[in-house]
Amino acid sequence: MMTQQLETAVSQLRKLSEQEQNVFAGAIAAMLRSDGEEEKEWDLLVSSDASQRKLEQMALQAEFDISLGEVLPYDPSGK
């Protein structure tokens, strides 16, 4: 069973192109591995042109959401 947050993320990933989905799949797999190679794989994944374009798009969206006041403060304590 997935959390609602994970289900939402997967739903958003389904809307991406196959290439973009593969970038995210590789990044997630690299983060879940514990063989010591995940950092090298992560660096390779996020340095690709497709990753850079997607990260730039996500940053612009975040800045836009912030400008509209649609972003809530993050409280890591969960309070």
10 with 2: CB under 8 angstroms? yes
Number of H helices, E strands in the chain: 4, 0
12 band by pLDDT with thresholds 50, 70 and 90: very high
- The 10s digit of each residue's pLDDT in 18-70 is 988 888 888 888 777 766 676 777 787 788 888 888 889 999 999 999 889 88
Cα angle: 25, vertex 31, 9; to 5 degrees = 50
Reference 51, options 32, 24, 12, 13; nearest CA is 24
**Domain residue ranges of the chain, discontinuous segments joined by +:** 13-67
Question: Can you say whether residue 2 is alpha, beta or left, with left for phi > 0 and alpha for psi between -120 and 50 degrees?
Answer: beta
